[in-house]
Amino acid sequence: MSTSLRTILKVAALTAALCCFQALAALAQEPVTIQISVQNHQFHSREIRGPANVPIILRIKNEDNAAMEFESVSLRVEKIVAAKSEGIVRLRALAPGRYEFFDDFHQETRGILVIQ
């Protein structure tokens, strides 16, 4: 194996290890739990609030007779929640701001998580 190839592999492995360590450290903080429910393809509260810089657990209760897919581009999550059941989504610690979320199976079903 050439010296150049060994250097290439070492740089790739070191960078990957550093990034994995940082991601695991961010997920290790104590989370806050927030409840969301959906009925008749509407979120009960269109706007929910949460604390900044703390990991959040979203408990999503689907009260409809059809499955939903909780999804958010800015939160970077998606989760299918079966009919009449509950799904859990773990969010990283978020910066203050407004984060849209929606049901990917019913795109008109939308809400906003406001982080303060």
Partner 1 sequence: MLQRAKIVFRFELICLALLVGLVPAAFGQSPNTFYEIETKYIFGFTEGSGIGLEGEKEISPDSVTSIGKRTGSYVTGQTKLKYEFTPNQFMQFELGPIVSWHHIRNVTDLDDVNRFSFGGGFVEFRYLLLDRPTSPVAVTIAIEPEWRRTDETSGQHVQNFGLETRINADLEIVPKRLFIGFNLLYEPETTRDAAGAWTNEATVGGSAALSYRIFPSVVVGAEVWYLRHYETIGLSQFTGDAVYVGPNIYVQLNNKMFVTAAWNTQISGREAGEPGKFDLTDFSRQRIKLKFAFEF
Q: What is the smallest separation between the CB atom of 98 and partner 1, expressed in angstroms? A: 8
For residues 44 and 110, which CB has a smaller minimum distance to partner 1 in the complex?
A: 110
Give 88's contacts (C-beta < 8 A, 6+ positions apart).
Answer: 57, 58, 59, 60, 79
Positions in the binding site for partner 1 (CB under 8 A): 2, 4-5, 7-9, 11-12, 15-16, 19-20, 22-23, 26-27, 71-79, 91-92, 95-97, 100, 102, 104, 107-108, 110
Token look-up 């509950």 returns 86
